[in-house]
Structure 1
Amino acid sequence: MRPPPNHHLAVPRWLLAPALLGVALIALPVIGLATQVPWDRFGALISSESALAALRLSVVTASVSTVIVVALGVPLAVLLARFAGRWWRPVRALVLVPLVLPPVVGGLALLYTFGRRGFMGETLRVFGIDIAFSTTAVVLAQVFVSMPFLVLSLEGALRGMDQRYEAVAATLGARPGTVLRRVTLPMVLPGLVSGVVLAFARALGEFGATITFAGSLQGRTRTLPLEIYLKRVDDPDAAVALSMLLVVVAVVIVVAVHRSPAGRGRAVRVKEEAETR
C-alpha cells in the first residue's frame, strides 16, 4: 500500500494560528448570516413566486453560460498552456482581466459593446437582434466574469501534467485531436471539473455586470442575487433567507465535486494504461 502523498513533510506549528484566522474570517460572516435567518419561515420565504422565478432563471442562465465557457475556455486554456510565445502573453493578461475588474465596469463594457448604442449593438439591431436588457445579456455577463476561472484552473493543470504520456501517444500514431481527447483531458480532469464548478458558482452569484448590462426584469433578467438586492430594503427577512439559500447551494456544489474521486481515478487509470504500453 502506497503511503499518502507528502506524509513525510513537516509543517511548522506557527502556521496554525494564521490558518485558523483565515478560516474564521470566512466562516464567521456565514455564521452571522445564519443567525439572522428566520428559520421558522425559511421555507415560505424561499418559495415565493418571485424567489422561485429568480432561482430558476439563475440556474438556467448559469448552466447555459457554463456550457459556453467550457466550449470556448477549454481550447483557450490548452493554447495558453502549450504556447509560450510573446504573442500569447497579452492574450493571457486579457483573459484574466475580468478577475480583477469590478463587475460593474465589466457590465458597462458589455453595454457599450452590445447595447443599443454600442459599436456592435447597432450592427446587430440592423438584423433585429437586441441583446441588452434580455436573458441573453444575463448569459453574456456570466460568461464574461466566469470564463477566467475555468481557463486559469485548466491551464494550471495542463502546465503541471507529465507530457510524456502525450508524447507516447503521438509516437504511436495518434492524431493531435485523439491525444487531446483520450490522454490530455482525462489526465487533467480534476482541474477541468474544478474549473467548471468555479465557473458555474461564479455565474450563479454574478450581480454587478448583470444589473448594469441586463437590468432587473422579473422572469427575464432578475437572477437570485438581484432578487436579494431588491428584497434587502422591502423584506430583509426574505433577503437573508435567499442569501442563505445561495450559500447552501454554493457549498453543496463545491463539496460534492471535491469529495468525488471520479476525476482523480480516471487520471490515475490513464497514467497506468500509458505506462503498460
Structure 2
Amino acid sequence: MDLNAIGQTILVTVTDVGLKIVGAILLYIFGRWLIGVVIGLVQNALYKQKIDPTVVRYVGSIVGVLANIALVVSILGYFGVETTTFAALVAAAGVAIGAAWGGLLSNFAAGVFLIILRPFKVGDFITVGGVTGTVKEIGLFVTAIDTPDNVHTFVGNTKVFGDNIQNYSTNPYRRVELTAQLNAGVDHADAIARLKQKLASIPNVLIDPAPDVEILEFSAAGPVLAVRPFCNNAHYWQVYFDTNRLIRETFGEAGYPVPQQYVTMRNVA
C-alpha cells in the first residue's frame, strides 16, 4: 500500500472540495447581492411608472422567490448535481408540499386576489381578521399591519380575504360616535344648542356634514345625547378626545347638575 499516493489523493480531493465550497460561498454571496440589485431595479422601474406601492412590493417578492430558486439551482449545478433531476425533485416536492400545506397555498391565492381586487392598499387604515391598524405590506402569504399601539401584526391572507374588510381610509371622512348623559332636570334643547355651537371650534371637525347632536335614548338618570362630529380618519382620535373634553367643560360652564340615580329600599315586613 502506497501511503504517499493515498495522502496525495486525499490532499487533492480535500483541496478540490474546499475550493468548491469556497466558490459556492462566494457564488451565494454574489448571487444574494445581485438578487437585491435586480429587485431594487424592478421596483424602482415600477415606481417610476406610478404603479401602486402594494403591487410593486408584491412583484418584488415574486422576483425574489424566483431568483433565490435559480440561485440554489446554480449552486447545485456548480457541485455537479444534475439540475434536471433537481427540477423534477422540486416539482415532486411541490406537489407533496401543496398537499400538506394547503393552507399556505390558499394564503398565496388569497394574496393574489387581494392584489387584483384591491380592497385596500399599503398605508390604508383597516380592520381585518379582528386586527385594526395601518397596512404596511401585502405579502405573498400574509398582510403586515401596524396596530395603533405600535404592534407589528401579521394576518394570513386567507383570513383577510375570507372575513369582513373595513377600510377607514377610502371615504374622505368618518363619524365619531359619542354620548352625553344629562340630568333629568336639564333642558335638553339648551344642551344640544350649546354643544352644536362649540363643536365647530374643535380643530379638524368638518362643517359639512355638520355635527349631529340629538337625543339618543333615555336612562334612569335622564336623556342621553348622541354627539357625532365628522372628521377625516387621520384626525379621528384627536376629535374623539377633544369632543369628550368639550362635553365635560360645556356642561360644567352651564352649571348642569350631575346625573344621579336614586334607589329606594322598602322593608316589606
TM-score by length of 1: 0.20
Instruction: Flag the structure with higher helix content.
Output: 1
**Structure having greater relative contact order (Cα 8 Å, sep ≥ 6):** 1
Q: Which has the larger radius of gyration?
A: 2
